[in-house]
Chain A
Amino acid sequence: MQQAYSPGLRVTTRALVRRERRLPLRGSVLARVGDAVRPPDVIARTELPGNLQTINVALRLGVEPARVAQMLVKPLGADVRAGEVVAEARGLLGLGRRRVAAPAGGYLESVSPISGQITLREPPLPVEVQAYVQGTVVEILPDEGVVIESRGALLQGIFGVGGETWGQLAVPVSSPDAELSPAALRAEHRGCVVVCGARLSYEAVARARELGVTAMIAGGLDDLDLRRLLGRELGVAITGAEEVGITIVLTEGFGRMRMADRAWELLRARAGRLVSVSGATQIRAGVLRPEVLIPETDGAGTETEERFGATLAVGSLVRAIREPYFGRIGRVVELPSELSRLETEAMVKVLTLVFADDGTRVRIPRANVEIIGG
């Protein structure tokens, strides 16, 4: 193959972002076109139907199903509390009274003269959709939600966990290669989105959760720490619904990974700003990547996106993305056209690379680098 892998992640200072915010079922939309919204604003609300419980009254009272309606002590549609008597039968001469109590609170929805069952509907569950991003409502989806438009910086991570959240951006590390120590997290980081440098440790996540940090952004994370955090092995990379009390976005990958300069500079320059973060990731086609959105208050400007072509050339700045040189950055100095034999005996196209840090010259498969600059 002639091409290097490019994960196609967006890192841009001026993106125009549209986010659809929809209810899971139809309901009321609370915002209007033109409204300026902030992340916590509720823009739509509905109620999910409560659980349905069936109670076999005929059996429990020992009466014919057709008579169950007469045994109800409350009319259909009436509210009942858990434990409250809903049907009653008396024996001969009013002796030997038998009762059926509601197993849960709710209202009596129906009675069947054929099965002798009554159905009790538990109270509905309120569901609200928040704006998540700061921006302007540009479209109403009738009975379902809105579309919000926002301008600002956008950083897509390569992997994340946890749902949508927001907070003030804090950068308590000094460089993209630094590692956040748990002790560096303080009470003032409560409600913040914290940039953590090259590696996020389980201990740092635990400390952040204690303090109420909403999200953490880092170059890498050890998979063993991810498992500890989730309490299970993550199989398919479809995330976003984890209830781990914090959202995590990785910009580079697993292990200790220096944050790419572009990502680091974008974040560092925006410390103190309100950011929206989602860890939702789907690694399959129609890829969904975790994101960090930082709305610009001046609003103006066009998108200036830094994307690099995926065609390798002598002079391309690349990063090795597989062992034995994983994470190291260098420039391409040679692109031999003939196939080369690897230690595995596979015959593949390779490139020669000079590493930026120590000037070492190595040959690696073209498939094992990603282009990070022209």
Chain B
Amino acid sequence: MSAGADEAANGARFILATDCGSTTTKAVLIQHRDDGYRLVARGEAPTTVEAPFEDVTRGVLNAVREVEEAVGRDLIEDDRILSPGRQDAGVDLYASTSSAGGGLQMMVSGLVLQMTGESAQRAALGAGAIVMDVIALNDGRRTHEKVQLLRRLRPDMILLSGGTDGGDVRRVTEMAEILAAADPRARLGTGYQLPVIYAGNRDAADVVRGLLEPHTTVRAVANLRPSLERENLSPARDAIRELFMEHVMAHAPGYRKLMSWSPVPIMPTPGAMGLIIDKVARRDRIAVLGVDIGGATTDVFSVFRAMEPEPVFHRTVSANLGMSYSIANVMAEAGLENILRWVPFAVEEGALRNRIRNKMIRPTTIPQRLEDLIVEQAIAREALRLAFEQHRALAVGLKGVQRERTISEALSPTDGHGSVVDLLELGLIVGSGGVLSHAPRRVQAALMMVDAFLPEGLTLLAVDSIFMAPQLGVLWTVHERAASEVFDRDCLVRLGAVLAPIGTGRIGHPCLTVEVSGPDMAPVTRRVAFGDVVLLPLPPASAVGRVSAVPERGFDLGAGRGRPVSARIPGGCVGLIVDARGRRPFELPSQAAARIERLRAWHHALGAYPERT
């Protein structure tokens, strides 16, 4: 943190934070009051990185003007944010995150796709980047195809890795030669050289520099895979973040001006969101899954093994799963039938396809009719499901390491490098992004997350109230107290929890009995049949309630088949969703009429949508 940021944070009364998303720029104003730091207003406006504006600050000022109108305080002077402010105007601290311009788009390379290639990918993802492609000597492409790919994709930055320290220099050199031949140009701006981070075999650093420096700016850092058994991602991640500011952001349209308004470095949006998730998991000692579903990408963050001294944090970004720019890719990857399985009415395929494509090319539109909202939320379920699948696949241990396996591992069907994602350990799901944060009814957000992630046992559910977790992430780096207080009081909306037994049975047969009690509420006991979804009340979010449940024989809530569970949980505005639709497997009826009937019954039970009389 810079001295300027320190000084600004010290005793700050008004704090402004913005997030320049790929479609929308959001602004929040935080004020220190008698009860601590609180959110006082928010505003948003379309992001203006692209033509005809090509200046990100236009969107920032438009969003901040909405805040000004809401609070009646001048925050802008001479077309810039007034910071530091005066007694009657401006703010004491201003910070911003950004994923505009598609965020930080990187290509990474390693020698072997599954080893250094994968480590390089993890380093870039952890720093908040979108990995456009991974190039490796064994990626099956011919040299000139690699060259053409590098030129066509025009990344913002390249991470070159490969080889263990003291190993063969020749093959890393080959990769550098390919990069040199491609002479790739940076995506934004023409007046600067593409930054390349070299984090491979240290013995090859000089050779790599010699090959690449005429065309690119090379930053050599410690090897991210110094030996097969060790991964050392921090130096590469730090370099990515620094170069993001120094080279990429400084040349994006309007960013130089934006950077001059704040003493706090602009942080990539996903980096800021990951920071918040990690902090919450460590503070509450709970396994957390965070998801941020945006217009172009969906980020998934997880912290598992939360009770261990060093919990495991993973972040993945599904660069082409999102609700606007990438919406057609959700259709392509999930298949239209998988989207339609969540829609409780018949839809004409041709019209739906055109609608999805038009959302892709005009990404800021919103559903006006209820049917459109339901379809959009069905697409969101599939985007979340696919992003989560990708997360599970990448949140694994190191490959290429020789290690001893226990007998049980040897007999298990996995390869011994299984995902660390454990749905029974998962204690909290936090959803963020327009489709979740802005869902007209909070229960819609809860159901989208339950349908997409299929949590097991008892799991708390929350959403980012107004899509402000990224702003609080960057704020956390300079003003932890303000960020933490606003996060708990104004950002995190506790929806309640979902209780989902593992197992399957016959529709209508007993599945479990649930009892909920809490302050200022009469205890509720319900027997729930297999195939049903039931909503039970919980105390308000500020209170703590108790959930006790006894599964029928053959069903497991985490304590073993037929064994009861009991837990104290915070309340929530939606309540406790008892999801007895089955797990392992979860199945929807294959016949359209039966499926639609079930969906309508579940939506009705939860009060998910307005019902026409």
Contacts and interface: CB of A to CB of B under 8 A. Distances in A.
Given A237-B325, A286-B102, A48 B144 contact: yes
Contacts of B333: 235
B372 interface: yes
B44 A285 contact: no
Contacts of A355: none
Given A24-B144, A254-B354, A286-B188, A324 B102 contact: no
B66 A2 contact: yes
B41 to A, nearest CB: 14
Contact of B52 (A6, A24, A222): A6
B420 to A, nearest CB: 28
Interface in B75-123: 100-102
Interface stretch (A57-65, A92-100, A296-304, A338-346): A338-346
A283 B365 contact: no
B362 A7 contact: yes
A345 B610 contact: yes
B332 A323 contact: no
Contact of B45 (A3, A224, A284): A3
Interface in B289-329: 296, 320, 325-326, 328-329
Contact of B367 (A24, A286, A344, A370): A344
Interface string A19-52: 0001011000000000000000000000011010
A237 B360 contact: yes
Given A224-B349, A235-B320, A235-B329, A285 B368 contact: no
Contact of B365 (A287, A344, A367): A367
Given A8-B51, A25-B181, A234-B332, A254 B45 contact: no
Contacts of A370: 362
Interface in A1-23: 1-3, 5-8, 10, 22
Interface in B12-64: 22, 24, 44-46, 49-53, 62
Contacts of A284: 22, 102, 296, 325
Given A224-B350, A235-B328, A345-B440, A25 B366 contact: no
Interface string B140-170: 0011100110010010000000000000000
A-side interface size class:
35 or more
A54 B373 CA distance: 58
A25 B568 CA distance: 65
Nearest to A341: B440
Interface residues of B, number: 61
A286 B189 CA distance: 10
A177 B100 CA distance: 36
A237 B369 contact: no
B603 interface: no
A120 interface: no
Interface in B324-371: 325-326, 328-329, 331-333, 349-351, 353-370
B187 interface: yes
Contacts of B373: 344, 346
B354 A5 contact: no
Contacts of B296: 284
Contacts of A346: 366-367, 373, 438, 440
Contact of A323 (B22, B46, B372): B372
Contacts of B45: 1-3
A104 interface: no
A368 interface: yes
B509 interface: no
Given A365-B366, A367-B365, A368-B366, A223 B356 contact: yes
Contact of B22 (A1, A22, A285): A285
B354 A343 contact: no
A367 B62 contact: no
B441 interface: yes
Contact of B368 (A22, A227, A344): A344
Given A2-B62, A7-B361, A24-B144, A343 B368 contact: yes
Contacts of B440: 344-346
A342 B368 CA distance: 6
B370 A343 contact: yes
Nearest to A283: B325
Given A223-B357, A346-B438, A5 B368 contact: no
B52 A224 contact: no
Given A2-B66, A5-B46, A253-B358, A25 B144 contact: yes
Contacts of B143: 49
Contacts of B22: 284-285
A26 B351 CA distance: 47
A326 to B, nearest CB: 7
A173 B359 CA distance: 28
Given A253-B357, A286-B154, A322 B366 contact: yes
Top 9 nearest A-B pairs (CB, nearest first) are: A235-B332, A223-B353, A235-B329, A345-B440, A8-B51, A285-B101, A285-B102, A254-B357, A233-B332
28 contacts: A22-B151, A25-B181, A48-B144, A223-B350, A223-B353, A223-B354, A235-B320, A237-B328, A253-B354, A253-B361, A254-B354, A254-B357, A283-B360, A283-B361, A284-B296, A285-B22, A286-B101, A286-B102, A307-B52, A310-B53, A322-B365, A324-B369, A343-B368, A344-B372, A345-B440, A346-B440, A365-B365, A367-B364
Interface of A: 1-3, 5-8, 10, 22, 24-25, 48-49, 51, 158-159, 222-224, 226-227, 233-237, 253-255, 283-287, 307, 310, 321-324, 326, 342-346, 348, 364-365, 367-368, 370
Given A1-B24, A24-B147, A285-B50, 18 more contacts: A1-B44, A1-B45, A24-B144, A51-B142, A223-B350, A233-B331, A235-B331, A286-B102, A310-B52, A321-B358, A322-B366, A322-B367, A322-B368, A344-B370, A348-B366, A364-B368, A365-B365, A368-B366
